[in-house]
């Protein structure tokens, strides 16, 4: 059982975007409080940072376990692996497979979402472009028929959070409209769209760019393509994978500064090897080789997700890219929580919210994780 505690003496990042030396008070029911009960335990965290628990909206697995093919216990193990790295809220992402198998997977994942173990389901594929398939089986790709999109939404029983689409394909815009009508995020990704096709999708209701830059045409000076459209439109939140492999630091910083801290969501796009190690894995039906922490398809060598955890993304964003701590907190906690419609519960250290807290040392290395008032890692 959680006990009341006061995390004292640390630098605290407030939801206003300011930083102050202060404390976070946790009640025995696992929430953040405005004042401390008399019996609360005081934990001295002088020299540390206290930031909200991380919210990962794009994650395929970890700890050797797959969200795309594993059992319920496998999925829970993968979720726990990411909690150990500060991700107190995780959306489980699928990959391309046949529609019946995806519907079955959605049913299993929705049960875990209903229990509160995950924050919902993200369908990445099969409605993506064969030109930009990345680590998806081309034989199983299909156009985004709204009826089939609806089938997956229904299979998730109210737990579908996001669907990644190549919106230029036949049925793409109608599918975006369908998703918007049902309160599901339409994300533009694995796309070969032009600038004009991308702006049409945004006008239809798309609100997220799936791992910006990756699996889409590059930015051109005469053919700006989707990247320019996604960066310039204030209705779009851009996902960025800051692992040093998916993006050059200059590209990461260009996107972050152009979109602004309020329009970036740092994600992992993690697969089974995250928090586990090198070796041979499977992402859907495709074999993946992980070497030196980089995941690539065994056939063809395309990058196949990542082995990133969000504590590493946080540390890199501050120490390598030089971003302000409060901007990284917005991108790794508040913004994704708002996208999911969960900001009333998670994403900032405000009284009344879940006590999801990450403790970082002065060099931004993870030292402790609190989820709903219970220590996952005790500092």
Domain count of the chain? 2
Q: Are residues 285 and 139 in the same domain?
A: yes
Q: Are residues 364 and 219 in the same domain?
A: no
Q: Are residues 74 and 40 in the same domain?
A: no
**What's the pLDDT score for residue 378?**
96
Q: Which residue, among 239, 158, 168, 251, has the nearest Cα to 202 in the 3D structure? A: 168
Q: Are residues 152 and 30 in the same domain?
A: no
* CATH code for position 123: 3.20.20.140
User: Rounded to two decimals, what is the model's pTM?
Assistant: 0.97
Beta strands in 153-298 (DSSP E): 160-165, 185-188, 208-209, 237-240, 264-266, 279-283, 286-291, 294-297
Q: Are residues 241 and 318 in the same domain?
A: yes
pLDDT band for position 16 (cuts 50, 70, 90):
confident
What average pLDDT score do residues 164-172 get?
98
Q: Which residue, among 211, 318, 307, has the nearest Cα to 267 in the 3D structure? A: 211
Q: Are residues 47 and 100 in the same domain?
A: no
Q: Is the pLDDT of residue 1 over 70?
A: no
Task: Cite the active site residues.
Answer: 269
- pLDDT, one tens digit per residue, over 88-98 is 999 999 999 99
Q: Are residues 194 and 323 in the same domain?
A: yes
Domain of residue 246: give its range: 54-339
Q: Are residues 41 and 146 in the same domain?
A: no
Q: Are residues 296 and 362 in the same domain?
A: no
- pLDDT, one tens digit per residue, over 106-149 is 999 999 999 999 999 999 999 999 999 999 999 999 999 999 99
């Amino acid at each position: 059982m959680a006990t009341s505690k006061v995390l004292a003496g640390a630098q605290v990042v407030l939801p206003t975007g300011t930083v102050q030396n202060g404390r976070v008070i946790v009640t025995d029911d696992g929430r953040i409080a405005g004042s401390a009960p008399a019996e609360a335990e005081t934990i001295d965290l002088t020299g540390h940072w206290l930031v909200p628990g991380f919210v990962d909206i794009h994650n395929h697995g970890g700890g050797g376990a797959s969200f795309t093919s594993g059992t319920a216990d496998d999925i829970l193990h993968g979720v726990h692996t990411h909690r150990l790295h500060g991700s107190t809220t995780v959306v489980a992402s699928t990959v391309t497979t046949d529609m019946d198998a995806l519907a079955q997977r959605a049913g299993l994942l929705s049960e875990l979402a209903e229990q509160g173990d995950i924050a919902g389901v993200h369908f990445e594929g099969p409605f993506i472009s064969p030109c930009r398939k990345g680590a998806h089986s081309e034989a199983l790709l299909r156009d985004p028929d709204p009826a089939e999109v609806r089938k997956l939404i229904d299979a998730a029983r109210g737990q579908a959070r996001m669907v990644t689409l190549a919106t230029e394909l036949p049925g793409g815009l109608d599918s975006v409209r369908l998703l918007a009508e049902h309160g599901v995020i339409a994300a533009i990704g694995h796309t070969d769209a032009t600038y004009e096709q991308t702006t049409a999708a945004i006008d239809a209701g798309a609100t997220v760019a799936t791992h910006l830059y990756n699996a889409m045409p590059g930015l051109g000076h005469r053919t700006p393509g989707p990247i320019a459209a996604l960066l310039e439109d204030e209705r779009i939140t851009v996902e960025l994978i800051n692992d040093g492999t998916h993006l050059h630091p200059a590209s990461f910083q260009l996107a972050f500064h152009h979109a602004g801290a309020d329009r970036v969501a740092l994600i992992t796009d993690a697969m089974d090897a995250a928090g586990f190690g090198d070796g041979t894995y499977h992402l859907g039906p495709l074999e993946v080789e992980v070497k030196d922490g980089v995941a690539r398809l065994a056939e063809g060598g395309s990058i196949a997700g990542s082995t990133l955890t969000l504590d590493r993304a946080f540390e890199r964003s501050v120490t390598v890219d030089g971003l302000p701590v409060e901007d990284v907190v917005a991108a790794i906690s508040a913004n994704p929580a708002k996208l999911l419609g969960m900001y009333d519960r998670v994403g900032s250290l405000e009284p009344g919210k879940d006590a999801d807290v990450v403790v970082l040392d002065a060099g931004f290395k993870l030292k402790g994780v609190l989820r709903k008032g219970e220590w996952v890692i005790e500092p």
